[in-house]
Chain A
Amino acid sequence: MDRVSADDLRRERFFHGMPGPHLARLATAGRVVEFPAGRRVFEENGTAESFWVIRSGTVALDLHVPGRGPVVVETLEASAVLGWSWLFPPHRWRFGAVAVRPVEATRFDGPLVRTLGATDPELGYDMALRFGTVMLDRLEATRIRVLDLYAHPGEPR
């Protein structure tokens, strides 16, 4: 697994605007990883110790539904962040994730990033805000999907 630099991270949308010293510290927790299509990234209920910033490819988030198997709830593309359960106790994945198309991503060591945030609260606050934004975006998207984005006013429901 290749190491990443602060400059590598600066190019990712997720890290836009982050101060250089913070990027340098986070880079110590990041490694470049690859997943072939079909490889499971993590299992539902597994221990959550990482998050990924997707550089290329597609990852599907899924949930095992009895009688139906893994049902895909969302796919994530390049520049998206995969995984936030590493940040919150009990640090277990609520969903599973599988590479749909070959994926290259930066994987971050979750416990190490938690430690970096605890020792530097400014970095920790910055990361919490960034993950809060990701979660807000996903929550909004989920609410809009509940609304049915594609329903026309005259359409029988």
Chain B
Amino acid sequence: MAPVPYRVVAKRAETAETVTLTLAPVGAAIPEPEPGQFTMMYAFGIGEVPISVSRTRPVLEQTIRAVGAVTGALCRAEAGQVIGLRGPFGTGWGVDEARGRDLVLAAGGIGLAPLRPAILRALARRDDYGRVAVLIGARTPGDLLFEDELETWRARGAQVEVTVDRPAPGWTGHVGLITALAGSADVDPSRAAAYVCGPEIMMRLTAQALAGLGTHPGRIRVSLERSMRCGIGWCGHCQLGPLLICRDGPVVPYESAVPLMAVKEL
């Protein structure tokens, strides 16, 4: 349960408040995470937060948005600094289980970070899948993560569609809700698996749109977020109805998430 020391070997600013840290173990490494899993990242002397893994190989990357004291400290970490990691924890997207299917990967805002390992895994094993569609929604073009990678993903055989709420001058992409992009995904919904990640309202509406187009709700997965502390289902901080999100999630079938998302008290 003790944090494993990792050194920041590179830092890349993604947006004004989001950075990606490339991490290397100082000594022993944690096990390689599965796409969709998270680690507990420790800013020594400040605290620990759950952060999704945004790249699993050949290097470990984690993408952090500065929203509080701990995430702010992690975002300020520079190359050479040592932080702590526990994990990996939780359930993954199950990319390997979807072999032979079309894939739809829909991300809202920073939700692209936990989906990126699934995208990279599918593109690394491109022949194992049918069509691959990546749908990305953001407030503005300036809020887009991994923008310099999107062309590479296209070149490797993914359809990548990006929509923003508020276009900047010169923006020639889509404008509007990510739900409107669901119909643009060049996949066969009846044989597709879909992974959706972002704020809960975005996931709910996007999953509804995908199901409405014919993707079986049992093949849609979403990534839930609650206040995770221990990471191993002991403390109960991340309880959501019958689920402990750190252990039973964060990735859960949409069918399991639907009734929980509708309960106001949760």
User: Which one, A73, A149, A151, contacts B137 given CB within 8 A?
Assistant: A149
The one of A73, A75, A79, A147 in contact with B163, judged by C-beta atoms closer than 8 angstroms, is: A75
Given pairs A73-B175, A152-B110, 5 additional interface contacts (CB within 8 A): A75-B173, A144-B201, A148-B139, A150-B108, A153-B225
Please give, as numbers and ranges, the residues of chain A lying within 8 Å of B79 by CB-CB distance.
Answer: none
* Interface status of B152 (Cβ within 8 A of chain A): no
Residues of A within 8 A of B139 (CB): 148, 150
A137 to B110, CA, bound (A): 26
Q: Kindly state whether residue B157 has any CB partner on chain A within 8 Å.
A: no
- Residues of chain B lying within 8 A (CB to CB) of residue A58: 174
User: In the complex, which residues 144-175 of chain B have their Cβ closer than 8 Å to any Cβ of chain A?
Assistant: 163, 165, 167, 171-175
Q: How far is the CA of A153 from the CA of B200 in the complex (A)?
A: 9
Please state if A74 and B205 are interface contacts (CB–CB under 8 Å).
Answer: no
Q: B residues within 8 A CB of A80?
A: 180
Give me 18 A-to-B residue pairs in the complex whose CB atoms sit less than 8 angstroms apart, sorted by A's number: A58-B174, A74-B176, A75-B173, A77-B183, A80-B180, A144-B177, A144-B205, A145-B176, A148-B139, A148-B165, A149-B137, A149-B177, A149-B198, A149-B201, A150-B199, A150-B202, A152-B225, A155-B65
Q: Which of B67, B165, B167 contacts A152 (CB 8 A)?
A: B67
Q: Does B27 sit at the interface, judged by CB under 8 A?
A: no
A124 to B138 Cα, complex, angstroms: 39
Q: Are B110 and A100 in contact (CB under 8 A)?
A: no
Pick the residue among A72, A78, A147, A155 that contacts B67 (CB under 8 A). A155
B212 to chain A, nearest CB (A): 11
Candidates B108, B143, B174, B202; contact of A77 at CB < 8 Å: B174
Distance (whole angstroms) from the CB of B192 to the closest CB of chain A: 17
B68 lies within 8 A of chain A by Cβ: yes
Q: How far apart sit A72 and B68, CA to CA, in the bound complex (Å)?
A: 34
Q: Which residues of A contact B163 (CB under 8 A)?
A: 75
9 smallest CB-CB distances across A and B, nearest first, come from: A150-B109, A74-B176, A75-B175, A75-B174, A149-B202, A141-B177, A72-B175, A154-B67, A150-B108
How far apart are A137's CB and chain B's nearest CB, in angstroms? 9
Pair B179/A60 contact, Cβ less than 8 Å: no
Taking the complex as formed, is A66 at the interface, i.e. its CB lies under 8 A from any CB of chain B?
Answer: no
Query: Is the pair B109, A152 in contact by a Cβ cutoff of 8 Å?
Result: yes
At the interface, yes or no: A156 with Cβ under 8 Å from chain B? yes
Within 8 A of A (CB), among B165-224: 165, 167, 171-181, 183-184, 198-199, 201-202, 205
Q: How far is the CA of A149 from the CA of B136 in the complex (A)?
A: 12
B→A interface (CB under 8 Å)? 65, 67-68, 108-110, 137-139, 143, 163, 165, 167, 171-181, 183-184, 198-199, 201-202, 205, 225
Chain A residues whose CB sits within 8 angstroms of the CB of B165 once the complex forms: 145, 148-150
With both beta carbons as reference points, the residue of chain A lying nearest to B205 in the complex is identified as: A144
**Least CB distance, A148 to chain B, in whole angstroms:** 7
- By a CB distance below 8 angstroms, the chain B residues around A78 are 183-184
- Assuming A149-B205, A150-B143, is B175 touching A156 (CB within 8 A)? no
Give Cα distance in the complex from A145 to B110, angstroms: 17
Report the separation of the CA atoms of residues A71 and B139 in the bound assembly, to the nearest whole angstrom: 15
What is the minimal beta-carbon distance from B4 to any residue of chain A, in angstroms?
25
- Of residues 103 through 117 on chain A, the ones whose CB sits less than 8 Å from some CB of chain B are none
Most B C-beta atoms less than 10 A away, residue of A58, A73, A77: A77
Among B175, B177, B178, B199, max chain A CB count under 10 A is at: B175
CA distance A35 to B198 in the complex (A): 35
In the assembled complex, how far is the CB of residue A146 from the closest CB belonging to chain B, in whole angstroms? Answer: 10
Please determine whether B172 and A100 come into contact, CB atoms closer than 8 angstroms: yes
Q: Name the CB-closest residue of A to B174.
A: A75
Smallest Cβ-Cβ distance to A144: which chain B residue: B177
